[in-house]
Structure 1
Amino acid sequence: MDHLRLPSIFVSHGSPMTALEPGAAGAFMQALGTRIDARFGRPKAILAISAHTAARAPVLLAGTRHEAVYDFGGFDPKLYTLRYDAPGAPALASRVTALMSAAGLPVHVSPEGGLDHGNWTPLRYMYPDADVPILPLAFVPMHSPAQQFALGQALAPLADEGVLILASGSITHNLRRVFEHGLRGPVDRPEIAESAAFRHWLLTRSGARDWDALFDYRARAPHAADMHPTDEHLLPWYIAAGAGGRENAPLRLHDSVTYGSLGMDAYAFGAQAARLLEHEPAGAALT
Structure 2
Amino acid sequence: MSRSRMPSLFISHGSPMTALQPGLVGEQLAQLAQAIEQPKAIVIASAHWLGRQPMVGGAAKPETIHDFGGFPQALFDIQYPAPGDPALARRVVELLQQAQLPAQFVPDYGLDHGAWVPLRLLYPEAHIPVVPLSIQPRLGPAHQLAMGHALESLRDEGVLLIGSGSITHNLHDWRAGYGDGHEAPYVRPFIEWIGQKLSDNDVSALLDYRKLAPFAAQAHPSDEHLLPLFFAMGAAGQSDDLQAQRLDAGVDMGFLAMDIYRFDGE
1:35 equivalent in alignment to 2:35: yes
CA distance in 1, matches of 2:175, 2:154: 38
Post-superposition offset of 1:189? 4.0
Equivalent runs, 1:61-100 vs 2, <5 Å: 61-100=57-96
Count of residue correspondences: 264
Match of 1:103 in 2: 99
Could you tell me the TM-score, scaled by structure 2's length? 0.95
CA distance in 2, matches of 1:43, 1:179: 39
Aligned equivalent of 2:216, options 202, 210, 224: 224
Aligned equivalent of 1:53, options 28, 37, 49: 49
Match of 1:144 in 2: 140
Q: Deviations over 1:61-92 (max 9, x none)?
A: 10000121110111222101111011001010
* RMSD over equivalenced CA pairs, Å: 1.4
1:245 equivalent in alignment to 2:237: yes
SS for the counterpart of 2:139 is coil
Aligned equivalent of 1:167, options 158, 163, 167: 163
CA distance in 2, matches of 1:179, 1:267: 28
CA distance in 2, matches of 1:29, 1:251: 13
Instruction: Give the partner amino acid of 2:76.
Output: Y
Match of 2:11 in 1: 11
1:264 equivalent in alignment to 2:258: yes
In the alignment, structure 1 segments of 5+ residues that lack a partner are 273-287
Equivalent runs, 1:129-208 vs 2, <5 Å: 129-181=125-177, 186=179, 188-208=180-200
CA distance in 2, matches of 1:99, 1:159: 13
SS for the counterpart of 1:47 is strand
CA distance in 2, matches of 1:178, 1:240: 27
CA distance in 1, matches of 2:9, 2:117: 15
Instruction: Give the partner amino acid of 1:143.
Output: L
Q: Deviations over 1:212-261 (max 9, x none)?
A: 11000000000000010001000000011001024223321234111111
Moved over 6 A (4+): none
Post-superposition offset of 1:163? 0.4
SS for the counterpart of 2:11 is strand
Match of 1:285 in 2: none
Could you tell me the TM-score, scaled by structure 1's length? 0.88
In the alignment, structure 2 segments of 5+ residues that lack a partner are none
Give the percent of matched residue pairs that are identical in Structure 1 and Structure 2: 46
SS for the counterpart of 2:191 is helix
CA contact 1:64–1:113 (8 Å) conserved in 2:
no
CA distance in 2, matches of 1:128, 1:141: 30
Instruction: Give the partner amino acid of 1:259.
Output: M
CA contact 1:155–1:243 (8 Å) conserved in 2:
yes
CA contact 2:50–2:134 (8 Å) conserved in 1:
yes
CA contact 2:135–2:224 (8 Å) conserved in 1:
no
CA distance in 1, matches of 2:175, 2:3: 42
Post-superposition offset of 1:34? 2.0
CA distance in 1, matches of 2:27, 2:205: 32
Match of 1:282 in 2: none
CA distance in 1, matches of 2:221, 2:263: 25
